[in-house]
Amino acid sequence: MTFKLLAARLIMAVTVPVILVTATLYPIFQAHLDARLDSTISIANAKIEAGERSLKREVNASINHLLATAEMPLLKRYLSGVGVARSPFQEEMQQITAAQLHTLLDTLLPHYVRYTQFSLIDLDGRELLRVGHDPLAQAENHVTAIFFQEAMTLAPRDLYISPPRRHLPHESGHTVGIAVMDITTPVFDTEGTRKGVLRFTLDWEYLAADIEQNLAMDAWGHPFMVDSEGSWLLTETQGPLSFGGSFATDSPEVWEALQLRHRGKTTLSNRLVIFSAYDTRTYHYQSLAGMVVSQPGRDPWQLGVIIEKPSLGELLAEDVTPLLITLLLYVLSITFGVFWAISYHRQQRLRHRTQRLSHEAHQYAHDVRDLYENAPCGYHSLDSDGRVVKINRTELNWLGYSAAEVIDKRLYRDFITPETRDAFDTAFQGVLGPDQEGSAECALLTRSGERLPVIIQATAYIAAHGFVHSRAMVFDLSERKKMEETLAQQAMTDPLTGLGNRRFLQDQAAMEIARARRSGAPLGLIVIDLDHFKRINDEYGHDVGDIVLQAFARTAKEQLREGDVLCRMGGEEFAVLLPDTTQHQALQVAERLRQALETSPVEVDHELNAGRKLNYTASLGVTLVMADEPSLKPAIKRADRGLYLAKEQGRNQVNWQNGMAD
């Protein structure tokens, strides 16, 4: 009996402490596990955001580099000579231009380490120029390549971005193929004629290395990046797959979770998947691109982290102190006082940790709020009626209103200019509809009456009971609009003389011909060619020739009326449109201009001719544009005929050509 009681007491002495210790320590360890998991999730979210920012930054930078190169005057001048018959002199100049262009691209390639190759391809798929590998390698024909076929259908400033692929060794000069991605855009000559495709080949391994560095986690998390077909896009060999491997086959559970939505987190047994989508076709608003297209079915990409939930054994293995204390409590079965002292100490540490985490959470919430209010773009939310329920300080500053004047009081549509409200209404209906998203380019009307061009991208926030409100980002397009206006102006202007170019002349002629046809007023045309200009270039050099062209432009503008249109058609040939001008008046203007040129020598600032004045003359052909002529070409042809007759008769003359001769 005594033995049985002792045994019972021993069992009780062992059982009760074990139960008390177990009941006390279990929630503490669980809290540690939860805290570790929460910390790992926060780190993973931050790393995914960093990786997404890195990807957006690199792709937008590459888009801007490609578009800037496509707009280079040197490239357009080279393309103007491609596919056209050329004289020996023009052929020599074309070869010089090609050499300059090749040197420029060859200089840019090592500066931008993200690129492996630059290629300029003509309309038949043949490579005109290629920089980035063995120059002795045989040029390729890309007429059947997807990137070439897609780019040939695009408008100016539109791009095609290929999915990352494994580059063949002979394409890059490496002994083994590397992962690359092609960005292509159509290119046009100075006349706006499509001449082919410009391709930048990016070193995807260089871009992926930066993304992988941002996504890198400790032993608890594993980064991933796949496209919409489930192909693995990361290139590090220590990853679960090699580049191009099938993530959909290797991790079907994770892949199935990624198909349900484009961002968020999903729990799978003992793993947590945190991910976000990136679509190259939509996330290029910080670039100069118009429209971006890609290979169907390969966008968007998913990048994220797979977190392995820590177990109690793994947590204890990291720090042996808690394990030793637990074993000591179980073995010694110390008194309840010691047990409670240790428990209180543990609870105090847990409480302090909880307070610190709470403080950090409040600080994080404050930072998020500050980021929302002072973001570089506008944010707002609208109810189903379009009433503003939330708006950040950035957008309020744009509009010139306070939050009290707008929130719950104004319809956002009231801030849209009348001419762009239809686009806004269509986008908002898209948010309310089944797609739950919409975007539109609009103009905001500020309190001061100014108009601010913006692009609005909105999605719907849906709860269990249905639509709650829209969430929209608003981006200021002022700088982009200014850039577009600048590029348009440059495309219509001759850079040497500041006069309009041939394209500008065609546009102005179309308007003046239409106006003359309506009013019945005559429309005169003068074509001018400087005499012996090749001799000036040969004897004094092209610098002096440029000075003569600039002097001609100044003299001619002084002799013309404000409404007359003076343009440089190319080389030393110019044209003047004379609205509301009869034959007699046009001949008077031409003769006055001829005499002014003859009596206005050019001061030549040249090493061998310092202070010397150079005389020059011009031959002029004059005609009228007929009311029944659909374009300026017939009149130019007549004026050119008069110009040639003037040269044959001794130059420095004006020759009239009647429209009835045609």
CATH number at residue 138: 3.30.450.20
* 37 and 168 assigned to the same domain: yes
Taking only Cα atoms into account, the Rg of the chain, rounded to an integer number of angstroms, comes to 37
pLDDT at 595 over 90: yes
Predicted TM-score (pTM) of the model is: 0.46
- Indicate the residue among 442, 477, 512 that finishes a domain: 477
Based on the fold, state whether residues 413 and 501 are members of the same structural domain.
no
Residues 299 and 386 reside in one and the same domain: no
- Whether residue 544 is found in the same domain as residue 624: yes
Domain boundary, last residue among 411, 444, 477: 477
Higher pLDDT, 329 or 402: 402
d(CA 320, CA 323): 5
Q: How many CB atoms lie within 10 A of CB 66?
A: 24
Is residue 51, in this structure, part of any structural domain at all?
Answer: yes
- Is 96 within the bounds of a domain? yes
Q: Which string of DSSP letters, residue by residue, matches 270-294?
A: TEEEEEEEE-TTTS-TTSS-S-EEE
Spacing of C-alpha 22 from chain mean position:
59
Q: Cβ contacts of residue 121 below 8 Å, gap of 6+? A: 127, 128, 142, 148, 196, 197, 198, 199
For residues 450 and 399, give the distance between their C-alpha atoms in angstroms, rounded to a whole number. 9
455 and 515 within one domain: no
Summary mean pLDDT of the chain? 82
Question: Which tokens belong to 202?
Answer: 């990016």
Q: Residue 432 corresponds to which tokens in the numbers above?
A: 């309310």
Report the range of poorest mean pLDDT among 6-20, 301-315, 393-407, 528-542: 6-20
Q: What's the domain range around 446?
A: 378-477
- Shared-domain flag, residues 283 and 419: no
Q: Which region among 112-116, 176-180, 295-299, 590-594 has the lowest average model confidence (pLDDT)? A: 176-180
Q: Does residue 494 contact residue 568 with C-beta atoms inside 8 Å?
A: yes
**Residue 164 belongs to a domain:** yes
61 is written with which tokens?
């930078």
- Could you tell me if 253 and 181 lie in one domain? yes
Mean pLDDT of 346-353: 70
Range 137-150 average pLDDT: 81
pLDDT tens for 364-385 read: 766 667 777 777 888 888 998 8
Dist CA 247 CA 505 (whole Å): 58
Coil, helix or strand at residue 340 = helix
Which residues make Cβ contacts (< 8 Å) with residue 363, sequence separation at least 6? none
The pLDDT value given to residue 658: 86
Q: Based on the number of CB atoms within 10 Å of its own CB, is 45 exposed (0-12), middle (13-18) or buried (19 or more)?
A: middle
Residue 511 shares a structural domain with residue 467: no
Is 357 domain-assigned?
A: no
Residue-wise pLDDT for 20-69, tens only, equals: 777 776 677 677 777 777 777 888 788 888 888 888 888 888 888 888 88
CA dist 265 and 257 (Å) reads 9
Are 326 and 399 members of one domain? Answer: no
Q: What is the pLDDT of residues 211-254, one digit of tens each?
A: 887 777 766 678 888 888 888 888 775 566 788 788 888 888 88
| CATH (domain of 618) | 3.30.70.270
**Residue 661 pLDDT level (bands cut at 50, 70, 90):** very low
Task: Using the 3D structure, point to which of 270, 303, 333 is the last residue of a domain.
Answer: 333
Residue 496 lies in a domain: yes
Q: What is the pLDDT of residue 308?
A: 78
- In which band, very low, low, confident or very high, does the pLDDT at 159 lie, cut at 50, 70 and 90? very high
Secondary-structure percent of the chain, ordered helix, strand, coil, rounded to 5? 50, 25, 30
- Give counts: helices (H), strands (E), the chain: 20, 23
Which residues, at least 6 apart from 225, have a Cβ–Cβ distance to it below 8 Å? 51, 208, 211, 215, 232, 233, 234, 301, 302, 303, 304
For residue 173, what pLDDT band results from cuts at 50, 70 and 90? very low
Let me know if residue 128 belongs to a domain: yes
Q: What is the pLDDT of residues 454-498, one digit of tens each?
A: 888 888 888 888 887 888 888 887 777 777 666 666 677 888 888
For position 589, what pLDDT does the model report? 94
The number of domains in the chain is 3
Candidates 405, 376, 375, 374; CA nearest to 388 is: 405
Residue 13 resides in a domain = no
Mean pLDDT across 600-618: 76
Distance CA 333, CA 16 (A): 9
104-128 pLDDT tens trace: 888 888 777 778 888 999 999 999 9
392 and 433 in a single domain? The answer is: yes
Q: Are residues 317 and 383 in the same domain?
A: no
Residue 338 lies in a domain: no
Per DSSP, helices labelled H in 528-582 are: 533-540, 542-559
Are 91 and 222 within one domain?
yes
**In whole angstroms, what is the distance from residue 134 CA to residue 348 CA?**
69
The count of other CB atoms within 10 Å of the CB of residue 181 is 23
